[in-house]
Amino acid sequence: MESTVTEGLGFAHFLTQTDGVGKAVLGVLLLLSIASWYLIVTRAMANLLAERKAGAFLARFWQASSLSEVEAALRGQGVDNAFAALVKKSLDAMQTVVRKISR
């Protein structure tokens, strides 16, 4: 009796015994699973790219001989990561303070 029960509990048995609602739920779950894996993969790739850009910027930042060199590099490269944005805003704030003091 045990073999009859275990043989009838497979995925194929589910598909043959389920109605339209069960198949619709299975289809929705499959689509959501695919969408989830798409998001997982694309976000992982985006994070990897962002990490590489930030690492490259930090390496250039610490190797720069002056803040003027960093500012020139930002003008040429643009702001493409969080560290570059932070440095850009800091340099802008520093220039604003210097202008106010020099008046």
The string of pLDDT tens digits covering residues 40-65 is: 999 999 999 999 999 999 999 999 99
On whether the CB atoms of residues 61 and 44 are closer than 8 A, the answer is no
For 91, the 3-state DSSP assignment is: helix
pLDDT in tens, the chain (103 residues): 455 555 667 888 888 888 989 899 999 999 999 999 999 999 999 999 999 999 999 999 999 999 999 998 898 888 889 999 999 999 999 999 998 898 8
Cβ neighbors of 84 (< 8 A, separation 6 or more) are: 54, 57, 74, 77, 78
